Amino acid sequence: MGERSAGKERAVGGDTPPLYRTVIDALRQEILAGTYAIGDRLPTEDALCRRFGCSRHTIREALRQLREEGLVASRQGAGTTVLRRGAAPPLYTSSVSSVEELLQYATEARYEVDKSGLVVADALLAARIGCRVGQRWLRVEGFRTVAGQDAPICWTEVFVLSDYAGIALMIGRKPGTIYSWIEEMYGVRIGEVQQVLRAEPMPEALTAELGCQPGSMAINVRRSYRLVGGELVEVAFNLHPADRFTYEVTLRRQG
């Protein structure tokens, strides 16, 4: 709706693009060229209105697009700040809708392990991953990266039941999913994956590595893997910058 209404404000000439697009292109070029350094504030909305001869609505639509591209961030009362000069981080779209499609996801997004070790679930961890207190788990954390992107797409924390901890030798060393290695090494079969998406604040310790602003929001994708018999064997948390994550689901009728 924003594009449609902003598109009414056009420069002279029937074939010219909407004025908000001209504003976007001009500001993007200046940011990428270094006219505005990282951390600099863009001119105020009033100043941009005067410069481009357009309405405040048009300027706000242009700034919204620049925020979606990851080039700037806006805060009430603090104006609009430049986040980066390089190419804007592309949006990451997840369309995982079956256990089999998780294999494609793991192949596209490489898991780079930062640290790992065995932990014993206390009451807090047991409630978080849905296990029994006292169970032993292999905990692995690191970042997922995609070829051609500077910043990681997400931070990933994985818990694997200690009975299946032998798969640790494969994590980060070969493409594939943890659940498929569990199946292959131990002769079991995953029967169910529960997926839950939740919005939450991005931990400050991860903002620099993920290329996002302090105080920004994240989408936490939690996946719980159970064997055919119902035993919980793996829980994974994937923390994505909210402004660069899209989740798609296609529903089809049966019969």
The C-alpha atoms of residue 72 and residue 153 are separated, in whole angstroms, by 18
Cα–Cα distance measured from residue 41 to residue 37, given in angstroms and rounded to the nearest whole number: 9
Q: Does residue 53 sit in the same domain as residue 159?
A: no
Q: Which two tokens stand for residue 70?
A: 């990851």
In this model, does residue 97 exceed pLDDT 90?
A: no
Same domain, 115 and 201: yes
Predicted confidence (pLDDT) at residue 93 exceeds the cutoff of 50: no
**pLDDT bracket for residue 95 (50, 70, 90):** very low
The separation between CA 75 and the C-alpha centre of its own chain, rounded to angstroms, equals 20
104 plus 43 within the same structural domain: no
Residue ranges in 111-244 assigned as alpha helix (H): 123-129, 178-186, 204-210
Q: What is the CA radius of gyration of the chain?
A: 23
Please classify residue 99 by burial: count the beta carbons closer than 10 Å to its beta carbon, then call 0-12 exposed, 13-18 middle and 19+ buried: middle
CATH of the domain at 56: 1.10.10.10
Q: In what order do the strands lie in the sheet with 190-201?
A: 110-120, 136-145, 154-161, 232-241, 217-227, 190-201
pLDDT tens-place string over residues 151-191: 788 999 999 999 999 988 887 676 678 888 899 899 999 99
DSSP 8-state symbol, 203 = P
Confidence of residue 85 (pLDDT cuts 50, 70, 90): low
Task: Please check whether residues 150 and 220 belong to one and the same domain.
Answer: yes
Q: State the maximum Cα–Cα separation within the chain, in Å, rounded to a whole number.
A: 72
Q: pLDDT averaged over the chain? A: 81
CATH number at residue 117: 3.40.1410.10
Whether 71 and 121 map to the same domain: the answer is no
Residues 102 and 164 in one domain: yes
From the CB of residue 31, how many other CB atoms can be counted at a distance below 10 Å? Answer: 24
Task: Give a yes or no: residue 58 inside a domain.
Answer: yes
Distance of CA 118 to the CA centre of its chain: 27
Verify that 46 and 98 share a domain, yes or no.
no
Q: How many structural domains compose the chain?
A: 2
User: What are the φ/ψ torsions at residue 26 (nearest 5 degrees)?
Assistant: -65, -45
pLDDT reading at 52 higher than 80 = yes
41, 56, 82: which is the final residue of a domain?
A: 82
CA–CA distance, 226 with 221 (Å, rounded to integer): 17
Asked, for residue 254, whether it belongs to a domain, the answer is: no
Q: Are residues 137 and 166 in the same domain?
A: yes
Domain stops at, among 36, 54, 82: 82
Least-confidence region, from 69-83, 87-101, 139-153, 214-228: 87-101
Domain boundary among 82, 105, 134: 82
Residue 45 structural domain: 2-82
Alpha-carbon distance of 101 to 105, in angstroms, equals 6
